[in-house]
Structure 1
Amino acid sequence: MPDLNLLITLDVLLAEGSVAGAAKRLGLSASAMSRALARLRDTTGDPLLVRAGRGLVPTPRALELREQVSRLVQDAHAVLRPTLSLDMHQVERTFTLRTSEEFVEHVGPALLARIAQEAPGVRLRFVNKTDKDSALLRDGRVDLETGVVDPAASPEVLTQALFRDRLIGVVRKGHPLSRGAISAQRFAEGRHVYVSRRGQDRGQIDAALERLGFTRQITSIVAGFSTAMALARDGDLIASVPERYTAHRHDLFCFALPVSLPTFTVAMLWHPRLDADLAHRWLRGCLREVCGQ
């Protein structure tokens, strides 16, 4: 296996035409540089630099190599140098985003419009998120995820907050809850649709109601907030959904829940493998700005 460090040494020797000058430029002693020149002579089978008077001159073989070696060294530096910019108009790439259908419905149009303008060769592939398992990020099948920040998330996954939100109640226009004050009792006495991607049949709203002495009736359990809002819109069910997903939903009556619940943070998640990738950084920036609008 050839010592590729010798290429850098040869490039400097040929540029300086002096063992002492090359040694100074590389921060080596004159004896170390002489040993390096001896190894280069042995490796190439050519003297490379020969004495002429008080200096050294390159052999014909060295003159042949000078341009090629210089180009190789420059290419190596370019490979190892951090990439500082990227023309996204020239990028052809597909990113896989794992998120909920309602997140795509709410954020997708603005994100796709931004991408079409800045990076027409970029395509987004959305896949439905059904759990919090980070294995798909880890093995590279997913490039970016969104979801509620989970303190128990894998420490190897990077996260950045996108926005804060809260749960609110929604019912159809004309529903009894759309008239008058909404107490915890009136809320609990209604028929509810509950959203659970993991099939659970109760959550923090039920716990909060029970602390007040009430139990609500859950008549339907669905996997997504969009489905819950559709059932509430076309029937008498009450759905509790993130407030952000109700923007521009003029077909629903929205109200603050009559129980105290903490707000939550929705974040994007990615694997450290892609942290320095410029195209991935650009995508994260687009998503962050779109969610901040």
Structure 2
Amino acid sequence: MNKADIDLNLLLALDVLLAEGSVTAAARRLGLSSSAMSRTLARLRAATGDPLLVRAGRGLVPTPRAAELRGRVHELARDARAVLSPQPGRLDIASLRTTFTLRANDDFVELFSLPLVATVSEAAPNVALRFAPKPDKDAGPLREGRIDLEIGVLGASAPEIRTQLLFRDEFVGVARLGHPLLAEPVTPERYAACRHVVTSRKETFTGPVDDALRELGLSRAIVAVVPSHRNALRIARRSDLLALVPRMCLGPNGSPEPPLDGLASFDLPVRTPKIAISAMWHPRVDADPAHRWLRDTVMAVCRATVS
């Protein structure tokens, strides 16, 4: 294909084809007939010198080349749409009237919902925030528009989902005040010798701290598994079990607040990776002024709270 023959419509069509993995679905999304979409796929194959999508049973799967191109093509298509779209007018935040739905776990809601609501209410009194539960990391609600913004650790998300790092956290140990472990420096051996309560919603109860202990020939006894860090902290407060929680669970000042006073935190005696907390949203709202304001507000509140 000569440079003069380059058709940006092919780029946009390729973005949709790779996202949908179906000629019929891509045609429906672009408002084309299936035959027209098939001809477009044939042109794309000729232009790239690669089959791009091949049949597997009743569906289509991307070739290695198509999988490699997916991210780049999506970025280029998004930028092309942005360049060729009208510039939105100035957003009047004070008169904005809408409800934003944020999906986050209980720990995030516990720490950030109050400052977020206060900040949003002051700047945009007609905007409401709805905090939805986060049972999993499924990107479907973002794709379908049921969730405006998701907060959490990145998972195996859909390739088109946009992300922005909010802050980094780390795991800390927590024990009741007066716990024998706290009478002396916390070593890997003394830490592993204690009994532990962990937080998990999966069948796997171990994590990075167990990997680090294993490298030292150590393991810890996990005697309780609970669905939330708040549950773990309450158990640790009334027993000799140690809890492992992100530092943000202790509150903005780093020490447990009521009703979780009576606890003491300590640095883990082994190194574990930092926890990256990010905001995630669908590209359809990437250039929306109201959504951009929401993202900026969440970013500012998070950084101010954890700094």
The question of a shared fold, defined as TM-score above 0.5 by the shorter chain, is answered with yes
Choose which of 265, 273, 282 in structure 1 pairs with 2:276. Answer: 265
The residue aligned with 2:90 is 85
The residue aligned with 2:193 is 189
Unaligned residue ranges in structure 1 (runs of 5+): 1-79
DSSP-derived class of the 1:210 partner: helix
The reply on whether 1:136 has 2:147 as its aligned counterpart is: no
DSSP-derived class of the 2:99 partner: strand
The reply on whether 1:164 has 2:168 as its aligned counterpart is: yes
Unaligned residue ranges in structure 2 (runs of 5+): 1-84
Provide, for residues 124-168 of structure 1, a one-character-per-residue CA deviation record: whole Å limited to 9, x for no partner.
Answer: 111121211111111111111011134x42211000000011111
Provide, for residues 75-103 of structure 1, a one-character-per-residue CA deviation record: whole Å limited to 9, x for no partner.
Answer: xxxxx742231112211211111101110
Matched residues in 2 for 1:112 and 1:248: separation?
23
The residue aligned with 1:241 is 245
The residue aligned with 2:77 is none
Letter matched to residue 161 of structure 1: L
**Structure 1 residues 93 and 236: alpha-carbon distance in aligned structure 2, compared to 1, 3 A threshold:** same
**Structure 1 residues 124 and 199: alpha-carbon distance in aligned structure 2, compared to 1, 3 A threshold:** farther
DSSP-derived class of the 1:181 partner: coil
Choose which of 169, 175, 178 in structure 1 pairs with 2:179. Answer: 175
Q: Once superposed, which parts of structure 1, at least 4 consecutive aligned residues long, lie more than 6 Å away?
A: none
Contact kept, 8 Å, 1:130 with 1:198, in 2: the verdict is no
Provide, for residues 49-93 of structure 1, a one-character-per-residue CA deviation record: whole Å limited to 9, x for no partner.
Answer: xxxxxxxxxxxxxxxxxxxxxxxxxxxxxxx74223111221121
Count, aligned residues: 213
Contact kept, 8 Å, 2:255 with 2:264, in 1: the verdict is no
The residue aligned with 1:72 is none
**Deviation, structure 1 residue 248:** 4.0
Provide, for residues 151-197 of structure 1, a one-character-per-residue CA deviation record: whole Å limited to 9, x for no partner.
Answer: x4221100000001111101111111222111111111111111112
The alignment's C-alpha RMSD in Å is 1.4
Contact kept, 8 Å, 2:152 with 2:277, in 1: the verdict is yes
DSSP-derived class of the 1:120 partner: coil
The reply on whether 1:275 has 2:280 as its aligned counterpart is: no
Choose which of 124, 133, 136 in structure 2 pairs with 1:119. Answer: 124
Which runs of structure 2 are paired with 1:175-254 in the superposition (5 Å)? 175-246=179-250, 247-249=254-256, 251=261, 252-254=263-265
Letter matched to residue 231 of structure 2: T
DSSP-derived class of the 1:215 partner: coil
Contact kept, 8 Å, 2:103 with 2:151, in 1: the verdict is yes
Larger Rg: 1
DSSP-derived class of the 2:101 partner: strand
Give TM-score, length-normalised by structure 1: 0.70
Matched residues in 2 for 1:127 and 1:176: separation?
40
Matched residues in 2 for 1:173 and 1:85: separation?
54
The residue aligned with 2:159 is 155
Q: Identify which range, 229-238 or 184-193, moves more after superposition.
A: 229-238
**Deviation, structure 1 residue 210:** 1.5
Matched residues in 1 for 2:268 and 2:235: separation?
18
DSSP-derived class of the 1:266 partner: strand
Provide, for residues 191-224 of structure 1, a one-character-per-residue CA deviation record: whole Å limited to 9, x for no partner.
Answer: 1111112232222211211211111111111122
Matched residues in 2 for 1:89 and 1:124: separation?
15
What's the % identity of the aligned pairs?
44
Give TM-score, length-normalised by structure 2: 0.66
Q: Identify which range, 138-147 or 199-208, moves more after superposition.
A: 199-208
DSSP-derived class of the 2:234 partner: helix
Contact kept, 8 Å, 1:131 with 1:197, in 2: the verdict is no
Matched residues in 2 for 1:119 and 1:87: separation?
9
